[in-house]
Amino acid sequence: MPCTLFISDLHLDPQRPEITRLFLDFLGTRGHLAECLYILGDLFEAWVGDDDDSALASAVCAGIRDCTQAGTAVYVMHGNRDFLLGKDFAAACGCTLLTDPSAIDLYGQTTLLMHGDLLCTDDHEYMDFRGMVREPRWQQAFLAKPLAERRQIALQLRETSIERIRGKPESIMDVNRQTVVDTMERHAVQRLIHGHTHRPAVHELTVNGKPAQRLVLGDWYEQGSVLECTPAGCQLQTLG
């Protein structure tokens, strides 16, 4: 049966080589057999530019390239950590960068794909930060800096983010339910797939006066998390 896979929030980092291995194994097995693989953001813990020559970036890119050469269409959406993934990365891996949000036809049902951070509208501080770093001018200025300096800035941003998250109530870090409904109604969809919150679940809700589903992907900190969709339906799975 044809199958499409969705993953997000791998947060690949040289400090967690076992997760990189798990991902490369997944790409080489199930990734090769799928029709499409969607990576919905935060593939990398940090991305400071496509000129990054790290061993991790090369290994991951080679894994994705093998997958696309085996016939799988691989799509990558930006997350809040790797929003600087660019055209050179996509060309080197053979994948397609996907706009957030994007609607696809998933075996007959229009499905909206997002990373998920755009739904966390209660976190005003983060939304302001997001607005700044998604400005083309900010990105051009950042990418013009030497690689070593960019890595340093990314490290500092990461530490600031950890500090900020520590001081915030759990509810602020989750999606705003009204934003979810508004977004789904605006795109006229009854199904949404996203990650970012690291709270894997299938939520039933009402959108456009009809039953709808919000499928949330899990992170890859302790194990893998995959959503497998076939014409028969979708299933959230964990990978050990």
Interacting residue ranges for Mn ion, rule: CB under 5 A: 42, 79-80, 196
Closest CA to 7 of 232, 216, 148, 231: 216
CB of 106 to Mn ion, least distance (A): 22
Beta carbon nearer to Mn ion, 63 or 79: 79
In the complex, minimum distance from the CB of residue 115 to Mn ion, in angstroms, rounded to a whole number: 6
> What does the block give as tokens for 94?
């053979």
Nearest residue to 49 via CA among 19, 18, 92, 15: 92
Query: Which of 42/174 has CB closer to Mn ion?
Result: 42
CB of 217 to Mn ion, least distance (A): 10
CB of 219 to Mn ion, least distance (A): 9
Is the Cβ of residue 26 or residue 220 nearer to Mn ion in the bound state?
220
Q: How far apart are alpha carbons 238 and 236 in whole angstroms?
A: 7
SS3 helix, strand, coil % of the chain, rounded to 5? 40, 25, 35
Measured between alpha carbons, how far is 84 from 80 in angstroms, rounded to an integer? 9
- Give 42 or 123: the residue with its C-beta nearer to Mn ion: 42
Q: Which residue is nearest to Mn ion (CB)?
A: 196
In the numeric block, which tokens belong to residue 98? 């996907």
